[in-house]
Amino acid sequence: MQLEVIGVGGAGCRIADSIRAAEPAGHAFLTDVFAFDTDEADLQRTVLPESHRYRYGTESAFDDGLEAATEAGQEHAAELLEVLERGSPTEADAFLVAVGLGGVTGGGTVPALVAALQRTYDESVYVLATLPADREFDADAGDPSGLGGRSKRASTTAGENTPPRPDAATNAVRTLERLEGVASAIVPFDNETWLRPGEELADARDRSNRALATRIAAVFAGGGESDGPVAQTVIDASDIERIVGNESAIVTLGYAEETVETTSSKFGLGLLPTEREVETSEAVSAVETVVRKGIRGKLTLECEPDIAARGLLIVGGPPAWLNRQAIAEGRWTLESAIGGSGILGGDAPRPDGETVFAGVVLADVESDRLERLRDVAAQSE
């Protein structure tokens, strides 16, 4: 399928940039990638072409809280749609809007932009949204020293600590509420879960964005345009829509990979490398391993897999490792994990790859993390 990615605000633009970098060679799945922000300096930090970077509004218009930013975002939604015409939005099978929910630029703009996209195009509009970490709105979260979530070194070194955002939880919850019934589906990424002990958000940013982009590419590039072998079972836009729905379901993504041997040498002397023959049992074992890790490993939003209403599995890697039995076993593993039959599965051949990977989608889930943010937001009102 072909995906149009739109990053809004500082966090959204960085995520969009990372997704563009994660597009697999020879497996194009992006029609265009755009970055929209009120901060010209943030836009210039992306590697997107100038025609696909756009500064809108003024920073002052978005500096007076989420309500004021929402009004400003509504005023600029039509303007941003016009900018998208610089690309090829009509060729997209779906739109993915990336945004950080703790702030006001993206949070104020994205609900209006998503609504405008839904009115203008027939394709699904998904929102990829980062959730704020506790230390952004809770000065003492995970910090027995009382330094507001900072190490002593970070607290005394200018520019190294994360600026506090006391309204981050409230902004996130209100933006999610405004996306309800507007976005086709919402994919949260929980910054709190992905932070290492003592790590600052700024230090974790690139690593987290790469992890998120890898998951997006694993799921959406499965049915992308390929210069090599065609998948046995192609997952297209209608399949993804069937799983995630069009009623603003909360969706979480999992991913795992394992390096495999792809060549063997004649006489065992390192001479004349040839494509390695793979035993069925080897392929099944490798696929089983990455599928289980993809389901039970770190998700973009932590939840128990068995509460998911539906699931999607993409298994990719060197074609010799993607035999039908291995993929069928992997799909059965996902079906068993969520305890339901609403499962779709496909494969993504990567002839030049050296890993077998699994991209996992768990749709229509709930999470304790969202409840935590709702509680914090309620207490601050």
- For residue 253, what are the contacts with CB-CB under 8 A and spacing of at least 6? 187, 215, 216, 219, 299, 300, 359, 360, 361, 362
Pairwise CA distance, residues 362 & 334, whole Å: 9
67 is in an annotated binding site: no
Pairwise CA distance, residues 124 & 118, whole Å: 7
136 is in an annotated binding site: yes
Please provide residue 12's backbone torsions phi and psi, each rounded to the nearest 5 degrees. Answer: -65, -40
Pairwise CA distance, residues 349 & 203, whole Å: 34
Q: For residue 266, what are the β-bridge partners?
A: 271
Pairwise CA distance, residues 334 & 212, whole Å: 21
Residue 203 is encoded by which pair of tokens? 């230090």
323 is in an annotated binding site: no
Query: Buried (b) or exposed (e) across 314-326, using 16+ Cβ within 10 A?
Result: bbbbbbbbbbeeb
Tokens 């990829």 sit on residue = 128
Strands 185-190 and 124-131, by their bridges, are parallel
Query: Three-class SS of residue 17?
Result: helix
Pairwise CA distance, residues 310 & 307, whole Å: 9
Pairwise CA distance, residues 70 & 67, whole Å: 5
- Binding-site residue positions for GTP: 136, 191, 209
- Binding-site residue positions: 136, 191, 209
